[in-house]
Amino acid sequence: MKYISTRGESPSLNFEDVILTGLAEDGGLYLPEKFPEFSQSEIASWSNLNYQELAYKIIAPFVDGEIPKADLKAIIEKSYSTFRHDGIAPLVQTGHNEWILELFQGPTLAFKDFALQFLGNLLDYILDKRQQKVVIMGATSGDTGSAAIEGCRQCENVDIFILHPHGRVSDVQRKQMTSVIEKNVHNIALQGNFDDCQKMVKSSFADQSFLPDGRQLVAVNSINWARIMAQIVYYFYAGISLGAPHRAVSFSVPTGNFGDIFAGYLAKRMGLPIEQLVIATNDNDILHRCISANDHSMKPLIHSLSPSMDIMVSSNFERMLFELYDRDGAAIKQLMEDFKSGEMVLKEEALSKARQLFSSCRVGDEKTLSVIQDVFENTEYLLDPHTAIGLQAARKTRRSMTTPMICLATAHPAKFPEAVKKAGQAKEPALPHHMRDLFSREEKFDVLENDIKVVHDFIAANMSA
């Protein structure tokens, strides 16, 4: 299987090379030349598989034999052995044909663990085989950072540098990152917002001259194809659990960087009968505005109660545009140039395709809090603010009550105690047992100004020999 850039000007790569490359030389993102497709009978035959067994079925065609079967199975098994729930991604019912898919059972209590536990083990395998050392540079709005650090902290061939917006992540999110005291782990609190962090990471991938000879950057953000690939699995797992392929299912996805819902689109394309995909945004609603009004213009970023979605530049939307524009790399390159000036407008044919594939909804802080309160009063189930947005968007846009609606729970409520208390819960949600001592742990991070040279100098000075 070969992988191509969304901007059409970079050479195609094989699987292992695309995992180590991240962003293409032309600034684009990599996608497979073609996607595997599974028949309805094949999907039906997976009904008794556990999560790890199903993950192998979904992931193996993308790897296409580059990693031996036994080794790939071992990587997958190891990646999900750290999850606290035997079901890995359990479903909880909150209403008639309404389900919460709990994606927070991993070690850092967020959906990012599904991809980053896998990516960490995958990198360890590839780098050990190649006897190569790399530098991971990533940006986080809260959850990617801790999941990436947890996935890569034991990787002997990796130095990891994570940028988060200083003062704009929750205390739990920050402590999860900064309390990992390992020689190869470096937390940078950037004096800016998430988009500033993400822009700096992308610029660094475009020009890696600040690194010494023999080192390269590797992405842990969802620009890395492995992130998307691993997330496709839980759509199939949830869908099959609720009767697919013999019945259709729908999903509502709290959306910031578009990677998670893009994985849902790919699951649909690969054969899972998905009736509806809902893009759920907070007040930073560029994706909702794009789908509903063809308004993909930059606006000032709003600091919300759902900080992991405080994003205005959704990197993975470029992958979706590539699909909507029939894989026309030149058209995507022009769209990205247009967006640099602050706005892009989709052609009608592409917009029409997007509206057939996706519903969208914006949910503000006030409504987020009322949903958390209402759901707890009616079911005694506690939502985090991101999941509450997904649930409200599902209820507002849902087309059919006979089709199961699955809302992705992207984080444990204990990661956002301030929002939960504002929603009227007198008692803060407790952290799971393995994290009860989080706030007594030693903390280490560096506050740096929003200047790419300052950050590059810091990375160069703190790499292992």
Q: Where in the sequence numbering do the catalytic residues fall?
A: 112
Bridge partners, 187 (sequence order): 162
For the stretch 83-87, contacts whose Cβ atoms lie closer than 8 Å and that sit 24 or more positions apart, written own/partner, are 83/107, 83/113, 84/432, 84/434, 87/51
| Residue 97 token pair | 């044909």
The strand order across the sheet containing 98-102 reads 91-95, 98-102, 405-409, 249-254, 274-281, 358-362
Angstrom distance (rounded) from CA 435 to CA 439: 9
Rg (CA), the chain: 21
Angstrom distance (rounded) from CA 15 to CA 22: 11
Angstrom distance (rounded) from CA 146 to CA 155: 15
Angstrom distance (rounded) from CA 463 to CA 158: 9
Angstrom distance (rounded) from CA 90 to CA 338: 42
Closest by Cα among 311, 198, 237 to 56: 237
Angstrom distance (rounded) from CA 215 to CA 295: 40
